[in-house]
Amino acid sequence: MLNFKLDQSLQLGGKKAIITGASQGIGAAMAKAFARAGVNLVLIARTEAKLQELVQELQLIYDRELQQNGEKEPDDYTSKLSFFAVDLTDEGAVKKIFSDIATLGGVDILINNAGKMTPKPLAFIKSEDIQSQFEINTFAVIRCCQYASRLMIRNGGGSIINISSMLGEYGQQGQSIYSASKAAVSGLTRSLAQELASYQIRVNSIAPGIINTPLISTLSNAEKEQILARIALQRLGKPEEVANTCLFLASDWSSYITGQVIDVDGGVHF
């Protein structure tokens, strides 16, 4: 875990970040890491109860941070923390969120993290499972990049971080659709980085390996064993390890990095 002094040296305090898929797993770990760094957060996922629970935890993190700095706790957290319980595949709802964010001064950091994985051999996968994986893993990412980049252009810069996957880079049997939907994100990242560079907006992806979250409960033990055998560090990743890379990419510590897909996978080899 990052310590408080290091969090401060990232100089992200007071910036505004949108984190999609924040209700659990990697997204929730990101929200906690960014709160420790003093970032104001807009959290998005479908499950309102989980977002509410997370917001309470984040308030405690902000309070601790303010106490350590000898500052008073705010009476109201609405400028520091807000959430939207929406389905990101609903184009109208996403448009409305970004228009609300525009009226509140825009956004500095976008983290496209929400995603789903429905493993099945291509011969047997239903068309609704093909559609739904592309809807959230690819099309929702494209839309959020589009809306956020317009606001970032207006504000003079920003950082976009898309969470793709090692499977988008290397593939895996039973994962043709998930891999394709994530490979599209890497392509988007590389092209968009070139389009937005002149506006001081950096665009990068993180390609996690196998990270211990509810998402991988859909993998069989045999599939997990098969993946573990390829990991140099011989263990699953932690959500916090992806969150820390995300902090780096959001901050000026990575000011000369754009258009990259950064593997956070414990050294996967094939």
Ligand X SMILES: NC(=O)c1ccc[n+]([C@@H]2O[C@H](COP(=O)([O-])OP(=O)(O)OC[C@H]3O[C@@H](n4cnc5c(N)ncnc54)[C@H](OP(=O)(O)O)[C@@H]3O)[C@@H](O)[C@H]2O)c1
Dihedrals φ, ψ of 164, to 5°? -100, -130
Closest to ligand X by CB, 138 vs 254, is 138
CA distance 42 to 17: 6
Closest to ligand X by CB, 87 vs 223, is 87
Beta carbon of residue 87, minimum distance to ligand X (angstroms, whole number):
5
Closest to ligand X by CB, 23 vs 159, is 23
DSSP β-bridge partners for residue 134: none
H or E segment and range at residue 100: helix 91-103
Beta carbon of residue 219, minimum distance to ligand X (angstroms, whole number):
8
Q: Catalytic residue at 178?
A: yes
What does the chain come to in residues? 270
CA distance 185 to 124: 24
Beta carbon of residue 152, minimum distance to ligand X (angstroms, whole number):
21
CA distance 217 to 211: 11
8 Å CB contact between 204 and 179: no
Beta carbon of residue 199, minimum distance to ligand X (angstroms, whole number):
25
Closest to ligand X by CB, 23 vs 254, is 23
User: Footprint of ligand X on this chain (CB under 6 A)?
Assistant: 21-27, 45-47, 50, 87-89, 113-117, 136, 163, 165, 208, 210-211, 213-216
**From 62, 170, 178, 256, active-site residue:** 178
Active-site annotation, residues? 178
